[in-house]
Amino acid sequence: MRSSSAVVLLPDAGPLITLAYADALDLLFKPGWSIALVDMVLHEVTRNVTPSSEKLAQWVQDHHLAVVATKTFLHHQRADLTATRPRKAHLGELAIQEVMNDFALFEPPKTGVFLFEDHKIARTSFLLPDNCRKVSTRAFLLFLEQMGWIDSAVDIETRALQAGRAFSRLRFPPA
């Protein structure tokens, strides 16, 4: 991968929620990459009152995180306004894919790391430009452990589970 300043981490809703349950959102900063939240994902994690919604909104505000506007979210907002039943499934992933496709057009291209948790994403043909990667929450935590930035990936998973988060047991990439 490129230098850490040229890499942008784009977390989906699942990893954000899991790390919020584990009180470990700041682990996203460990690699030194930029973090950008896609507007649709931010909406997904904050639109309803949940055990993690306020924590996530406050974390984004405290860290002044960049929020990337997408056509996907704009379409969702318009559908909401016109009282049509807006599609809700997989819009965050669709918006992230939109952003990663835009990264491929930058000169030089930005490297995007799509952090996901939904096992369906790992098994489907999610189109990624050559300059982008997809990484599961578990693989990201293992990376942090291997780099010596956390003591134990399992400890973070355990904290999330003990706080009530049930997340995918899928290992991606497969061992």
pLDDT in tens, 7-50: 999 999 999 999 999 999 999 999 999 999 999 999 999 999 98
Question: In the chain, where are the structural domains located?
Answer: 4-162
CATH number of the 4-162 domain: 3.40.50
User: What average pLDDT does the segment 149-172 reach?
Assistant: 84
Residues 123-141 have pLDDT tens digits of 555 677 888 888 889 899 9
Going from the C-alpha of 78 to that of each of 69, 85, 95, 125, the distances in angstroms are 14, 10, 15, 28
Q: What does the mean pLDDT of the chain come to?
A: 85
